[in-house]
Amino acid sequence: MEDMRVLKHARHYIAAMADGINPLTGEYAPPNDTISHERIQKCCEYVKGILDKLIESGGSAKAQKIPFSITPYPLTVVKVSPKPIGVNEIAKRINAVTPKNMTGISGTKISSWLAETAI
């Protein structure tokens, strides 16, 4: 939990600078100070938001994957086999053309979908 303490401490510093306050003295910075510039304060506000999300997630910086979806275009580049292949191989080929930050599809999910839509 040392990392969480450091994250919260860093967030405190960044929040102060976003408000134009010197985090070391607790005093408002003079107008000619770097942290008094609006662009610097906006940048600190942005970083503060990122730190808030990181703290809320328990300190995990692992990127969240987006849910699986596919449009017609990527399907046109899925390698087609002249021989029959299993659903796991189909899933593997579909996953090869989807973005890396997307949750993959599995052969089980494909089979379940086929069973649900079968007449």
| Percent with pLDDT over 70 in the chain | 95
Higher pLDDT: 11 or 80? It is 11
Domain assignments of the chain as residue spans, ordered by start: 2-56, 72-117
Between CA 83 and CA 74 the distance in angstroms is 21
Mean pLDDT score, 80-106: 90
User: What rounded mean pLDDT belongs to the chain?
Assistant: 88
| Greatest mean pLDDT among 3-7, 80-84, 87-91, 95-99 | 87-91
Q: Are 4 and 59 in contact (CB under 8 A)?
A: yes
How much is the pLDDT for 13? 95
Can you spell out the DSSP letters for 14-55? HHHHHTTB-TTT-SBPPTTSGGGSHHHHHHHHHHHHHHHHHH
Q: Are 86 and 107 in contact (CB under 8 A)?
A: yes
Mean pLDDT score, 2-11: 88
| Torsion-angle region of 59 (φ positive above 0: left; ψ -120 to 50: alpha; else: beta) | left
Mean pLDDT score, 41-46: 93
Mean pLDDT score, 48-58: 86
Mean pLDDT score, 76-99: 89
How much is the pLDDT for 61? 66
Q: How confident is the model at residue 62 (pLDDT cuts 50, 70, 90)?
A: low
